[in-house]
Structure 1
């Protein structure tokens, strides 16, 4: 069995229906109770990364240097520290960086498109739910490959625009158009959404991510692609072009740098 098959099977054992229900239900707390939402997401993210790092030369997360691109308030740090990893984060927005009131001893203010790290300096490079918040997501993804060492792992996970969570706090109104949904939200709440379409929220599809992964096979091998928040028995939806954009909700692309 190949490394890709072994790693994917390992995570598939975690990707149960119960896990999917729990994660999807936690989304309703993203704005009202971010510590609850991001705490659960951090633990799930660490388990996902651990599943794909187990066959790496580091032997897992213990001692691995991990860069979280778009680390935000820093909720992921504890989950990785608990597994013995050396966690670093890059976050461009100082307001977002301090939103949770957490310490940021391992956080650098930096753009994902211009990471201030040397080539091949990271064992694992991660981006969780950030792609949809940047206007140049694949430049960021290319930077992630650059700073990852040969043999290291790159994991890009992001929310799909046409899925039910594509509009974030705007709910399903994004199906009427991003700008229209933002106007409706502003009228209803008296202020614009945190994730403002065209400024801090963009339309990104599964097809784009899969195309990007295939385009980088000169420098990295595709280890796995799967929908993050659905149980493993439903991962087949990713093979259906139109269906995957709605049902997959979130695409994960895992690469191993050559």
Structure 2
């Protein structure tokens, strides 16, 4: 069996991931800019339901790398986790309330010290992808879980707020957004946004000697869509947002 396929069976309550769930998540996604409380609240609840298949987060030490919206902090803490946010920006809501200021490519946390790493929609914003990925695994205890998701560049939303014009070019997307809104987009290719692919992260996961892949599928789509990941090129356009859950298997 490919290392990118599920290597173990979940032990917790099964999440229902059909068309209805996808419809509801996409409806929330469409109001991210106008109603972020709704979108990030729904996404946090969905993320915890996904994790709940593999682990009970109660009393677990959870490090959120690239922490941002306070809704994730509230959801993890309400579930009983010992939640620690980490971000390079000290003004981020969840970090400002008490967290760690630091970089994802050199996490200021001891190796093998946390039960879980949660990393949602950070990876497309870092230039050294594999270095960050290695850091996310490094800080996990043996048996600890990494929840990783990100929007790849060739996704319909790969250009973020400047989408879908990133399909023309990153520079064109920036110029068009600036003309339309009178300001630069927050996410700019080569500055705050990078061409992260599905293929490169799957290669890393399959080759990682000290991690086991439990889940590999599109984050927002029904479970049947996991087969998209086996189709090169098409997966870059159709995955939208890749979700991986890995388990740390040993220390080096």
Q: Say whether the fold is shared (TM-score over 0.5).
A: yes
Match of 1:200 among 177, 192, 198: 192
Map 1:119-138 → 2, pairs under 5 A: 119-138=111-130
How far residue 153 of structure 1 moved from its aligned partner, in angstroms, is 0.7
- For the Cα contact (< 8 Å) 1:38–1:76, is it kept in 2? yes
Map 1:160-179 → 2, pairs under 5 A: 160-179=152-171
Match of 1:6 among 4, 9, 13: 9
How far residue 72 of structure 1 moved from its aligned partner, in angstroms, is 1.3
- For the Cα contact (< 8 Å) 2:7–2:212, is it kept in 1? no
How far residue 225 of structure 1 moved from its aligned partner, in angstroms, is 1.0
Q: TM-score, normalised by structure 1?
A: 0.89
Aligned to 2:109: 117
Aligned to 2:87: 91
More helix by share: 1
Map 1:1-258 → 2, pairs under 5 A: 4-7=7-10, 13-53=15-55, 60-95=56-91, 97-98=92-93, 104-216=96-208, 218-258=209-249
- For the Cα contact (< 8 Å) 1:67–1:124, is it kept in 2? yes
CA distance in 2, matches of 1:184, 1:169: 11
How far residue 103 of structure 1 moved from its aligned partner, in angstroms, is 7.3
How far residue 75 of structure 1 moved from its aligned partner, in angstroms, is 2.2
Alignment gaps of 5+ in structure 2: 1-5
- For the Cα contact (< 8 Å) 2:110–2:139, is it kept in 1? yes
- Which moved further from structure 2: 69-78 or 125-134? 69-78
Aligned to 1:56: none
Classify 1:151/1:103 alpha carbon distance in 2 versus 1 (closer, same or farther; 3 Å). Answer: closer
Alignment gaps of 5+ in structure 1: 54-59
CA distance in 1, matches of 2:130, 2:52: 24
Structure 1 segments (4+ residues) deviating >6 Å:
none
Q: How many residues are aligned here? A: 244
Q: Secondary structure at the match of 2:105?
A: coil
The alignment yields a C-alpha RMSD, in angstroms, of 1.9
Classify 1:10/1:178 alpha carbon distance in 2 versus 1 (closer, same or farther; 3 Å). Answer: farther
- For the Cα contact (< 8 Å) 1:90–1:108, is it kept in 2? yes
CA distance in 1, matches of 2:224, 2:170: 32
What does the per-residue CA deviation read over 1:113-142, in whole Å, with 9 as the maximum and x for residues that have no partner?
111111111001111011001111221111
Q: TM-score, normalised by structure 2?
A: 0.91
CA distance in 2, matches of 1:222, 1:72: 25
How far residue 255 of structure 1 moved from its aligned partner, in angstroms, is 1.3
What does the per-residue CA deviation read over 1:189-244, in whole Å, with 9 as the maximum and x for residues that have no partner?
1000111221111111110110110221x211122211111101222111111111
- For the Cα contact (< 8 Å) 1:65–1:88, is it kept in 2? yes
